Chain A
C-alpha cells in the first residue's frame, strides 16, 4: 500500500497567518489530492494534481492554493487563514490500482 504522510497532525494558528500543510507519498504516483472534512458536510475536494507543477481546482478552492514542485510532495497553502478554515485536512494519493489512499489528517484550528 501507499504510505501518505502528513507532517503536522495538529496545528493552531491565528487569523491572517500563512499556513502550510505538507503531504508526502513514499511512491512515485502522479495523482495527489487535498480534501477537507467537516461534521455534517463530509469530505470536500479542495485541489488536486496530476503531475509535477500541475494543479486543478476541486469543489472548494477559494482561500487555498497548492504547490507540487516534486512528485512525492503536495502542499496545501492558506495564504491568510480564517476561522472558517478550521477543519480536518486530508491528503490522498491514487496509485495505479485506482483506490484512494489517505494520510492520517491534519487538524487545523484557526483562532
Chain B
C-alpha cells in the first residue's frame, strides 16, 4: 500500500548545527511533495515543496532534496535555531482526487528539538 513515513520520530540538535529530517514514500506515481512545520498548539505551516521533475529546491535556510530512485525525501535546515523546534511532516500527492493537492498523504511527523 501507499505510505509516507519518517525514519526518525525525534531529532535533537544543537543550536547552530544543521538538521536533516528524512522521509520515505512508496508511491512512485506521486509527483508533488511538501514539508510542513507544526508548532505546539498550532496548525501545520507550509515550509517548502518540490515537484517530481526536480531533485533539489532551496528556500530560506531550508533545502528539500528528492531522490526518486529510492523514493526518499529530506528536509535540511541550516543553522538550526530554537524557533525551529517543532514537529515536521512530509507529505506526498498521489493524485487520487482529480489532481487536487488536498489529497495529500502525510507522514507521522518528526519532532525536532533544538538545544541552546
Contacts and interface: CB of A to CB of B under 8 A. Distances in A.
A100 B97 contact: no
B101 interface: yes
A66 interface: no
A41 B3 CA distance: 12
Interface string A18-54: 0000000000000101000000111101001010000
Interface in A35-77: 40-43, 45, 48, 50, 56, 58
B44 A42 contact: no
B101 A100 contact: yes
A98 B107 contact: no
B62 to A, nearest CB: 14
Contact of B102 (A31, A40, A42, A104): A31
Interface footprint category on B: 20 to 34
Interface string B84-114: 0000010100000110111110111100000
Interface residues of A, number: 23
Contact of A48 (B34, B41, B91, B102): B102
B97 to A, nearest CB: 7
Nearest to B45: A102
Interface of B: 32, 34, 36, 41-46, 49, 89, 91, 97-98, 100-104, 106-109
Interface of A: 4, 31, 33, 40-43, 45, 48, 50, 56, 58, 90, 92, 94, 98-105
